Structure 1
Amino acid sequence: MIPQLSLTEILLILVVAMLLFGAGRLPEIGRSLGEGIRNFKRAFSGEEEKVKEVKGQEVKKGEKS
């Protein structure tokens, strides 16, 4: 189970990230992370549609028999 993060913990993580990567690189890292998440969601939803499509074809085959 994923624990809930408080505001203090989130701020601490952001400060550590700024120290590690610098303030100039953080927007670039955020963009890259967001793009990766979007691509993952897009790929995942595409796979769900394929599974539904295959299941629909199996049902149609079963009805014909």
Structure 2
Amino acid sequence: MTIPLFIGGIGGPELIVIFLLVILLFGADKLPKLARASGEAMGEFQKGREEIEQELEDARTKATESTTTSTDEETVTGDIETETDSETDASPA
């Protein structure tokens, strides 16, 4: 039987240990630079995600418009064919 090593979420004591390890690895003077770089990376990721969502929304809108336009064109074409058929039927033979 295997015992799970990680049960539950990350609590206060775990965050303190992680923070102390980061300070030891990078040094206290580099933490602001590291935090700034992480924030910029997260901002770029967010910006890219929003651009992709906008492109998907534009594609959905165009698909809906083209479907509506196709239906309208079929209706107009059907009306023209009906008028042509009725004119042919009405002409004397």
Partner of 2:35: 30
Bigger Cα Rg: 2
CA distance in 1, matches of 2:41, 2:9: 23
How much does 1:21 deviate? Answer: 0.5
Q: Which runs of 5+ in 1 are unaligned?
A: none
Q: Which runs of 5+ in 2 are unaligned?
A: 1-7, 71-93
CA RMSD in angstroms comes to 0.9
CA distance in 2, matches of 1:50, 1:18: 41
Question: Which consecutive aligned stretches of 4+ in structure 1 deviate over 6 angstroms post-superposition?
Answer: none
Percent identical across equivalent pairs?
24
More contact order relative to length (CA 8 Å, sep ≥ 6): 1
Partner of 1:6: 11
Aligned length: 63
How much does 1:5 deviate? Answer: 1.1
1:45 aligns with 2:44: no
Taking structure 2 as the reference length, the TM-score comes to: 0.65
Give the residue type in structure 2 aligned to 1:28.
K
Taking structure 1 as the reference length, the TM-score comes to: 0.92
CA distance in 1, matches of 2:50, 2:41: 14
